[in-house]
Amino acid sequence: MLLLFWLIRAPDLCFARRFSGKIKERDLSLPRNSVYQSGRPTPVSNIIVMDNRTTKGPSPKAGVRDRRYAIRYPFAADVELIDLETGEQASGVTSDISLGGCFICTSKPLPLKSRARLTLSRKGQVVKGLAVVRIVKPRIGMGIEFIDIEQPCHDLLSKWIDQLRER
């Protein structure tokens, strides 16, 4: 950006140089093929402007991992999902879990943004709640976010996560 500013403002600028303890002015001499010829700007087509990435916010291609607010831990539990709109059923096994969601390995994932009734079961313990599909990987599985887990089930989910943290 400084180069672009310099190219635009160059004829108006005088540079000060320290010489023998005194400040002297000298004019900037531009080559004949410069942007400014005879004091008038001419169009330039080969200037590259670099964006300041720190002020633009998150990338539009930010992945799901960038949006998570809880750490996921490797975890295997049987899962059954029922789409609340269509009644379509899906089943699979979790590969990881957190207090905010999990990834379910299944060959037939539900469509993106589907809301579903969720049942997680492991060693006779069951967690039930509502979830929404946040990411779909065809023939691999889907990432879901928990949106409503009943309090007794939330306590059990927290217990599972605490056990995983201790490992």
Q: pLDDT, tens digit, for every residue of 11-68? A: 444 433 334 444 444 444 444 544 445 556 556 555 554 444 444 455 455 555 556 6
Residue 116's H or E segment, with its range, is strand 115-122
Q: Which residue segments constitute the domains of the chain, with CATH numbers given? A: 2-41 (no CATH), 69-166 (2.40.10.220)
Residues in the chain: 167
**Residue 79 is encoded by which pair of tokens?**
């899962």
- What is residue 98's predicted lDDT score, i.e. its pLDDT? 94
Is the overall model pTM greater than 0.75, yes or no?
A: no
Please check the confidence at residue 139 and state whether its pLDDT lies above 80: yes
The CA distance from 122 to 161, in Å, is: 13
- What is residue 77's predicted lDDT score, i.e. its pLDDT? 96
- Whole-number Cα distances in Å, 51 to 1, 48, 55: 9, 10, 9
Please check the confidence at residue 102 and state whether its pLDDT lies above 90: yes
Find tokens 């599909």 and name the residue: 133
φ, ψ of residue 83 in degrees (nearest 5): -65, 130
